[in-house]
Structure 1
Amino acid sequence: MLNIIFLVVGLVLILYGANWLTDGASAVAKHFHISDLVIGLTIVAFGTSMPEFVVSTLSSMNGSADLAIGNVVGSNIFNILMIVGCTAIAYPIKVEKSTLTKQIPLVILSSFAVIVCANDIFLDGGANNMIGRADGILLLCFFAIFLGYTFAIAHSEENGEDVKVKELPMWKSILFILLGLFGLIFGGDLFVDGASGVARSLGVSESIIGLTLVAGGTSLPELATSIVAAMKHNSGIAIGNVIGSNLFNIFFVLGTSATIIPLSIGNITNVDLLMLLFASILFWFVGWFFKKRTITRYEGILLVTCYVGYIAYLIAQQ
């Protein structure tokens, strides 16, 4: 019972902390005359991925590699199949051509990169599968390239969606940042302890908890953001939020975690990694075909059904 309380309290602190940190950092950036669009594509997009960053980083530092990797892989699968699926069911999503030709292929590339990094035994004949420091640094290099690309499209004439930022006094912005950091760090510590405790008490591996419970919990900010954006007919924000989060999770979150402490793949299997790649390709497929450049309600149901099937597979394997 105590572990469940830790889990719930930690998740609440993480979600509020991410929100406070995002609002505070956005207001400070606005104070220094950084454009709304750049703030939206960087601080706001990455702010919704802070729960994954905190949980995976703390998990790797605590020696829970299964939880760290499972959180990233599970969150990305959840983002595509559940968030895009539920968002499309709530309101069909129009997808820009540049998103299908440039941005979603980056998501597919990131999924493929994880498979390559995590298959030392198959590719190199290694003793075990690890995402080592070299892999982590490589992923961080990919993140730097993605960040440069993000700033480039921020000034492109193709992208005209601004994200309006709440303006706050400087003292309140700093207070929000401090409260956000406290919520993320303290909440993340509670959440990791609670998730590990729940896994032990149920006799379930940390990898399964990371792929399901932790992944779904840390992805709540993206779910709320995308559904609200779609209902307001801001399809670019709804899709961009998922794409930005997935790339941030693999390139930065996993890259940082592996750079701090090399991560053993443990109970994360190629089935999980291939499911991530399949979900990424399906994301591109449903946007491009059927009703061209629109993810319809039927396609949303298909995505959600795939996720339910994947969870059923994980449960059956226990």
Structure 2
Amino acid sequence: MIYLLLLVGFALLIKGADYFIDGSSNIASLFRIPPLIVGLTIVAFGTGAPEATVSIIAALEGSADVTIGNIVGSNILNISLVVGITAFIFPLKVERPTIKKEIPFAFLSTIALLVLISDRLLGITNENLITRSDGIIFLLFFSIFLYYVIEAARNSREASTVKEVDIEQTGSWGKNILITVAGLAAIIFGGYLVVENSTEIAYRFGMSETLVGLTIVAIGSSLPELITSITAAMKKQSEIALGNIVGSSIFNILFVLGVASIISPLPVNDKLFFDIIVLLILTVFLFIFSRTQYKVGKYEGMALTILYLVYLIYIIMRN
């Protein structure tokens, strides 16, 4: 039964991603909002919903290793495997704002996480914790990111030339909202089924909470980003694909960890310091690759995929 529910979850994720991309792209056209902004907000937060759900539930249940491991593992997977596979299928076009602002913001978010969990190193306490005050700091950073995105959307609308939108091609407001909501619901429910059942399978094999968070839960809850980004790339919406990945990484750290730590302070496993440093290195790689002709090509995508596989083998052996 567990394996059947896992397959149902995958099916919902795939079909939901297809509907969600179509609906959100058409809404962007009707609003005259650049696809990049849609990727950074609606798509990123929507596909980040499984991570948010899993991490907050884990925080409520006192499973801090699953909460933090899920976020760090998901971000590593997003920036390496999701970008890698998507770019290998179809080279990802990178917008200038993504290179100058969004990727650096994702890097700074990870630095903030590294600093806020280093309580022992900084001589604050004897235990590394993400406290409620740390959570408030994360949410303040998140509000700054939201302000930037809203301003960017408003400026882009003011700068764009007014042109008629082909309603027959894009569909009506009501139809697109319905498609987007239905797609998002399928993504969230599909992600929930995948995470719950894959976690149950993992526990049966005797894996630790940290390893489960970094691998099974991270992979399961990142499937919406993976499938949505691949779907977007195949539909030639590469701005949505990369915006979705970067936006989800920022959302995961600043919003999800922020809310989870306010609910319950999160003790940090010392092993996670290595994983956060890996995340920083991968973000730097993404920044460098993005600057080459403003796209992430097939070979760069392959390199990111290989880096993730090496990391995955290491953490499985480590635990």
Tell me which amino acid in the other structure corresponds to 1:256: V
Cα distance in 2 between the residues matched to 1:251 and 1:87? 25
Identify which range, 74-83 or 115-124, moves more after superposition.
115-124
Deviation at 1:308, TM superposition (A): 0.4
Q: How does 1:98-117 map to 2 (within 5 A)?
A: 98-117=97-116
Q: 1:257 to 1:17 in 2, by over 3 A?
A: farther
Cα-to-partner distance string for 1:244-298 (whole Å, 9 max, x where unaligned): 111111111111111111111136421111111111111101112xx43221211
Cα distance in 1 between the residues matched to 2:238 and 2:16? 26
Match of 2:230 among 227, 230, 235: 227
Task: Tell me what 1:121 maps to.
Answer: 120
Task: Tell me what 2:302 maps to.
Answer: 301
Q: 1:220 to 1:144 in 2, by over 3 A?
A: same
Q: How does 1:95-244 map to 2 (within 5 A)?
A: 95-157=94-156, 167=172, 169=174, 173=178, 184=188, 188=192, 194=197, 197-244=200-247
Kept in 2, the 8 Å contact 1:72–1:215? The answer is yes
Kept in 1, the 8 Å contact 2:93–2:295? The answer is yes
TM-score computed with the length of structure 1 as normaliser: 0.81
Match of 2:256 among 247, 253, 258: 253
Tell me which amino acid in the other structure corresponds to 1:69: I
Cα distance in 1 between the residues matched to 2:317 and 2:296? 30
Kept in 2, the 8 Å contact 1:17–1:182? The answer is yes
Q: How many residues align?
A: 306
Cα-to-partner distance string for 1:152-197 (whole Å, 9 max, x where unaligned): 111223997x9x9865759x95x99699779958974x66654554
Kept in 2, the 8 Å contact 1:18–1:50? The answer is no
Kept in 1, the 8 Å contact 2:10–2:190? The answer is no
2:289 matches 1:286: yes
Q: Secondary structure at the match of 2:207?
A: coil
Cα distance in 2 between the residues matched to 1:22 and 1:234? 9
Q: How does 1:259-278 map to 2 (within 5 A)?
A: 259-266=262-269, 268-278=271-281
Q: Secondary structure at the match of 1:157?
A: helix
Cα distance in 2 between the residues matched to 1:96 and 1:272? 28
Task: Tell me what 1:85 maps to.
Answer: 84
Over the aligned positions, Cα root-mean-square deviation in angstroms equals 3.5
Cα distance in 2 between the residues matched to 1:257 and 1:15? 28
Q: 1:282 to 1:178 in 2, by over 3 A?
A: closer
Tell me which amino acid in the other structure corresponds to 1:271: F
Cα distance in 2 between the residues matched to 1:229 and 1:63? 36
Deviation at 1:94, TM superposition (A): 2.3
Q: Secondary structure at the match of 2:155?
A: coil
Kept in 2, the 8 Å contact 1:21–1:47? The answer is no
Cα-to-partner distance string for 1:181-227 (whole Å, 9 max, x where unaligned): 79958974x66654554444222111111111111111112112222
2:68 matches 1:65: no
Kept in 1, the 8 Å contact 2:83–2:245? The answer is yes
Deviation at 1:237, TM superposition (A): 1.3
Deviation at 1:35, TM superposition (A): 6.4
Kept in 2, the 8 Å contact 1:85–1:299? The answer is yes
Aligned-pair identity in percent equals: 40
Cα distance in 1 between the residues matched to 2:289 and 2:270? 30
Deviation at 1:312, TM superposition (A): 0.8
Deviation at 1:97, TM superposition (A): 2.3
Tell me which amino acid in the other structure corresponds to 1:308: L
Cα distance in 1 between the residues matched to 2:38 and 2:63? 33
Deviation at 1:48, TM superposition (A): 1.0
Cα distance in 2 between the residues matched to 1:46 and 1:253? 10
Tell me which amino acid in the other structure corresponds to 1:121: R
Q: Secondary structure at the match of 1:219?
A: helix
Q: 1:115 to 1:281 in 2, by over 3 A?
A: same
Tell me which amino acid in the other structure corresponds to 1:293: Y
Structure 1: gaps spanning 5 or more residues:
none
Deviation at 1:228, TM superposition (A): 2.4
Q: 1:86 to 1:230 in 2, by over 3 A?
A: same
TM-score computed with the length of structure 2 as normaliser: 0.81
Kept in 1, the 8 Å contact 2:78–2:226? The answer is yes
Deviation at 1:233, TM superposition (A): 2.8
